[in-house]
Structure formats: structure tokens, C-alpha cells
Amino acid sequence: MYRYSNWLMLFILGLIALAIWAIYPPGEKIHLGLDLKGGMHLVLEADTSKLPPEENVKDAVAMGLEVIRNRIDQFGVREPTITRQGDTRIVVDLPGIKNRQSAVDLIGKTALLEFKLVDEAGDINKALKGEVPPDNEILYNSQGTPYLLKKDTLLSGRAIKDARVEMDQWGQPYVALDFNAEGADKFSEITGKHIGERLAIILDNVVKSAPVIKTRITGGKAVIEGNFTIDESNELRIVLKSGALPVPFTPIQNTWIGPSLGRDSIRKGLLSGIIGMICVIVFMGIYYKKAGLIADSALLLNLLFLLGALAALKATLTLPGIAGIILTIGMSIDANVIIFERIREELRGERAPRSAVDAGYERALRTILDANITTLIVALVLFQFGTGPIKGFATTLSIGILISLFTSIVATRVIFNLLLAGRPVSKLSI
């Protein structure tokens, strides 16, 4: 390994440069989790009572998770965490979100879009008194105006290819729809067949508009008007574009974590980490002398590489993740302690410093690998079966173990080799 030490040192210097590049600026590159940044923790439960018998509950919830993920992505939240909990629940963590109610409304809205004909030949007054014909139903708009509609859904939101917010000539926002090929043909057929009738556009059983069909509409386009604000129009665009939820989801837990609590967690986590590192660095320098300084260098490299890896992988740093980093620091030092004690045993056996270093690393290698591999297996199991904070802890611990193996076995060995190469050394400061 001696003849490759110069190349390995260049490789380590290159890794240092890459890590600094990956981290800088830390405020943008290292993403903080909900417990550090503040935000919203939401648990949604699927209402499977309205699911058709032929539909599978797990499949419906899986589809719902993807729809919710698409909505959140279009809402613009950075680094959301969306996971399943059991068969019927979805857990959503939204770090840094400010408009809490808008997010809840957007995520939980079923967004079932339907096009139905208004039955103008029917008697709305009789229907309101309870005499609703079997082929009809009563729905209301947002102002409470009743509509007597035919039950048959002529077209649904599944036919929508795109949705966008546009402005009319008076500056009022509306949502423009583009249908897919099948939907465009169907819409053309509907509007051609029912000229002079009113076509109600319904979202989640609320009539948004009911315009009169004046002519056949080709080209696969339609609009939804309804005195919307810009925010309401944008939310409607998002839910229509991402699709309808296969089953309704109800929020059963909605927890808000303020940014001040997150800042306090960061401060305490950093403080504990810095105090721990200072104590370890001082102890290693006193107890193992110059060799302890080599271990301290490896410890700093370990921290730098770990933060660089988290930034490069776009991993989210959580409070349990900070605990994983602190644990990794302890394991890294533990590996160096094992190596140094083996080297001391060899030196007490009257071996030359260079030979003692070689033998010390060789004897310590298996013990270090056994301890770290078993811990890595546990971390991988936690990552596979855990959720939320547990995954954050498992992520930093797994990455930290791999990096600590490199810094404690390779990086410190390279430094020893460079110190011992080219000149005779009669005594090792360890």
C-alpha cells in the first residue's frame, strides 16, 4: 500500500473538493426535514366504504398516494415525504409549507369531475320537496342554487389531458381544459347531440357552471368558469391535472410544527454534536498523542464526506438523522481506537514502527468489519421497514458507516504511510 499512498492522498483530496462543492452553500444544498424546518404532518385515511366491490383496497390507496404526490409536486413543496401507513392510511410531511389550509384542501379534495345534463323539463320545486324522479338528482353550486340534473355522467375527469389557468377579457381567471383524443371525440358528440340544452360541469358534487350548448364543440377544449380567485383557479388546475382520488381521504391527524421549534432543534442538535466532537478530539489528542491527531483528521473527514453525501443524494436531514451522525462519529473513533491499541501491542513486542503499523491495521481489520457490517445490516432493516424519522436515522447511519470505514481504515493508513515513508522512524507517537 505504501507505493500507492501518494495516489490515494490525491484521491482523498479530490473527495474533499467534491464534498465541499456538494455542500456549498449549505442553506440550499442540505435539505432539512419537518422536525428541523417546521411544517405540516398530515395523516389521511381512505374511506373504503365507497369503494366498488371489485376494486382492491391496497391498489386504490396506492393510486391515491400517487395522485397526492403529483398534487404536492405541482403545489411546489420541496422535499415532501409521502408514505403509506398500513393498508388504508397515507402519511404526508410537508417541510417549510406556509399556507396550511390550502395544502389540506388541495391534498384531500377528491376532484371528481363530471359533465351532466340539466333536466330543464323536470320540476325543480317538486324535486326540492322530495319528489325526485329516479333518473334525476339535485346538486347545488357554491352559492346554494339548486340544479335538477340527469344522473348519467356523460364525461368524467379521466378524459382530461391538461388543465391550465387563463384570463378572460375582463381579467377574471378561469380553468381551460384539454381533452385526450377519446375525450375530445366524446365531448364533440355530446355537444352536437344536445344543442340548446345546459351541460353542468360538476366537481365533487358541486356545480361549477351550467352553460347552454350553442353549437357542436370540436378540438377537445372546454372551460370552467365560476368567479374564481387566482389561488382557487390554480388549486382547481392542480387537482384536475393530477387526476381524481380513487376513494375519498379524510384527515385524521393534522399537526403543525412551527419554524421556531425547528430552529431550536437545530441549535440543540448542533450544540450537542460540537460538544461531543470537541471532547473526542481532545481525548484522542491527549491519549494517543500524534496518532490521535491523525484520528481527529479522519473524524473531520468523516463529517465532511457524510454531509457531502447527504447533499449529493438530496437526502433530508432530520433530528434522528443528526443522532445517526453523532453515532457514526462514535463508531469512527471506535475503529481508530481498535487500530491504535493493536499498534501499541505490536510496539510493546519490540517491532519497528512501520512493521507495527502494518500488523496493527491487519489485526484490527476483521474486528472493525464485523462490528460495522452488523450495524449496517440493522440500519438497512430500519430503512426498509421504518417510516419517517426512523428512515432518516437509518439513512445517515448507513452512509456514515460506509464513510467511517473508508476514513478509519484507508485515510488514516495513508497518513501513517506518508509519515513513515522515506525516512527511518525509531519511535512512534501513539
Query: Same domain, yes or no, for 213 and 266?
Result: no
Give yes or no: residues 346 and 377 share one domain: yes
pLDDT by residue for the chain (430 residues), tens only, comes to 556 777 888 899 999 999 999 888 876 777 777 777 778 888 999 887 767 676 778 888 888 888 888 888 777 676 788 888 888 899 888 887 777 777 887 787 777 788 999 998 888 888 888 888 999 999 998 889 999 999 999 988 888 888 889 988 888 898 888 999 999 999 999 999 999 999 998 888 888 888 889 889 888 888 887 777 888 788 778 877 777 777 888 889 888 877 666 677 777 777 887 888 888 889 888 988 888 899 999 999 998 999 999 888 877 787 888 888 888 888 888 899 999 999 998 888 888 888 888 888 999 999 999 989 999 999 999 888 876 678 878 888 999 999 999 999 999 998 888 888 766 767 777 8
> What element of type H or E holds 298?
helix 259-312
Range of the domain at 12: 1-35+258-422
Residue 408 CA to residue 335 CA, distance in Å, equals 6
Assess whether 63 and 178 both reside in one domain: yes
- Domain boundary (240, 256, 272) is at 256
Assess whether 267 and 219 both reside in one domain: no
- Pick from 230, 256, 282: which residue ends a domain? 256
SS3 (DSSP) at 50: helix
Same domain, 112 and 236: yes
* CATH assignment of the domain containing 242: 3.30.1360.200
Question: Both 242 and 377 in a single domain?
Answer: no
Query: Does the residue 428 lie in any domain?
Result: no
> Where among 256, 283, 316 does a domain terminate?
256
Are 26 and 82 in a shared domain? no
* 319 lies in some domain: yes
Dihedrals φ, ψ of 208, to 5°?
-85, -40
**Same domain assignment for residues 215 and 149:** yes
Same domain, 63 and 190: yes
Structurally, the chain folds into a number of domains equal to 2
Tell me if 403 is assigned to some domain.
yes
Residues 92 and 2 in one domain: no
Phi and psi for 98 in degrees, rounded to 5?
Answer: -105, -40
Bond preceding residue 211 cis, omega within 30 of 0 = no
Predicted structure pTM score? 0.64
Q: Is residue 430 part of a domain?
A: no
Task: Count helices and strands (H / E) in the chain.
Answer: 13, 15
Q: Which of 192, 189, 181 is nearest to 220 (CA)?
A: 181
